[in-house]
Amino acid sequence: MNPQADNRTSPAGHVARSALSDADLLHRHINGDPQAFSELVRRHRDRMWAVALRTLGDADEAADAVQDAFVSAYRKAESFRGEAAVTTWLHRIVVNACLDRMRRKAVRPVADDELIEAAERDTPLPDHTGDREVSLEVSAALRLLPPDQRAALVLVDMMGYSVEDAAAVLEVPSGTVKSRCARGRAKLVPILSHLRNRSERARVSSAKGARLRDG
């Protein structure tokens, strides 16, 4: 197929491209279609962003990781052999980019009380309740897990992928994914409940304060 004849600019060409499967798009990209990879990116960037942001817990880091990952995927498209879904392959590249980043960072504290202290430091005390607050708590708590456990939890519990899919992305056996998830959840329980109680106390005390103030 001659990519040049592919009506790059015509609506027809666009429609045709958006109807293609991921694998077809990747194939076209390898064969020189300059638009094919962009279409792949458009399709998957939100998911890749979600994975990176949750895994890294930091928007700047996530942006770097996602960019690196997409550029890397662009370059090594030929290494995709079709043995897995394109999405699995893309996820793998993103997750690996994130894991690389995390592993280069300083070692996190591991003792539970240190974890909780660190989570408190990382989470500003909210002035009102809401999704945003929970989401801050969760990402602060996640940041305290070892990278492997975090990646497993992001894929399975947060993104909702099956253990088998997560195992394919992480290139580890399913049992390993399960055990990383189990250990990660076990660590999250005390951290999250502590943060929740703290918010609860803050809310109660600010409600009291409001009552006193307002008479």
Partner 1 sequence: MTGDTHYDLETLAELAEGLLDDATAQQVRDHLAICDPCGEALADLAGVREVLAAMPVPAMPLGVALRVDKALAAEAERRRAGAPLDPGPAFPEPDWDRIMRDAPWETGAPWEEPAAAGERVADLPPLESPRLVPLAATASAGEASLDGTPVAGAPGPAKVNGSHRPEAPADEEPGTVVPLLASAKRLDGPSADERPQTAPEAASADDAAAKRPALGVVAEDGSIVAPKRRTGSARRRWLVSLSSVAAAAAVVTGGVTVTNTVLAGGEQTPVQQTVAAPSASAPAERTEPTQETLSADVDGQQERGSRFVIGESGYNYADAELKANLVAYFGSMPSGGSASGDAKLNRCISKLVAAEKSDPIGIDRAYYNGNEALIMLFWHNRSQDLVKVRVVSPECKNLRKPGLATWN
Q: Does 119 bind partner 1 (CB under 8 A)?
A: no
Cβ 152 vs Cβ 126: under 8 Å: no
Min separation Cβ 106 and partner 1, Å = 11
Answer yes or no: are the C-beta atoms of 85 and 64 closer than 8 Å: no
Chosen residue from 26, 55, 70, 151 binding partner 1 by CB under 8 A: 70
Residues in the chain: 215
DSSP secondary-structure letter at 108?
P
Rounded CA separation 126/134 (Å): 10
3-state secondary structure of 22: helix
| 142 within 8 A of 150, measured Cβ to Cβ | yes
- Collapsed DSSP state (helix, strand, coil) of residue 5: helix
| 112 Cβ contact list (under 8 Å, min separation 6) | 187, 190, 191
Phi-psi domain of 57 (left: phi exceeds 0; alpha: psi -120 through 50; beta: other): left
Residue of the chain from 76, 128, 201, 208 that contacts partner 1 (CB under 8 A): 76
- The window from 17-25, 53-61, 115-123, 205-213 that contacts partner 1 (CB under 8 A) reads 53-61
- 81 touches partner 1 by CB under 8 A: no
Segment near partner 1 (CB under 8 A), from 4-12, 16-24, 61-69, 116-124? 61-69
Q: Is 140 in the site for partner 1 (CB under 8 A)?
A: no
- Determine if residue 162 is left, alpha or beta; phi over 0 gives left, psi from -120 to 50 gives alpha, anything else beta: beta
Binding string, 146-185, against partner 1, x = CB under 8 A?
Answer: -------x---xx-x--------------x--xx-xxx-x
| From 66, 95, 151, 169, residue interacting with partner 1 (rule: CB under 8 A) | 66
What amino acid is encoded at 5 in this protein? A
Q: Is 59 in the site for partner 1 (CB under 8 A)?
A: yes
Residues 178-207 that bind partner 1 (CB under 8 A): 178-179, 181-183, 185-190, 192-193
Positions in the binding site for partner 1 (CB under 8 A): 30, 34, 37-38, 41, 45-50, 53-54, 59-64, 66-67, 70-71, 74-79, 100-101, 104, 131, 134-135, 138, 153, 157-158, 160, 175, 178-179, 181-183, 185-190, 192-193
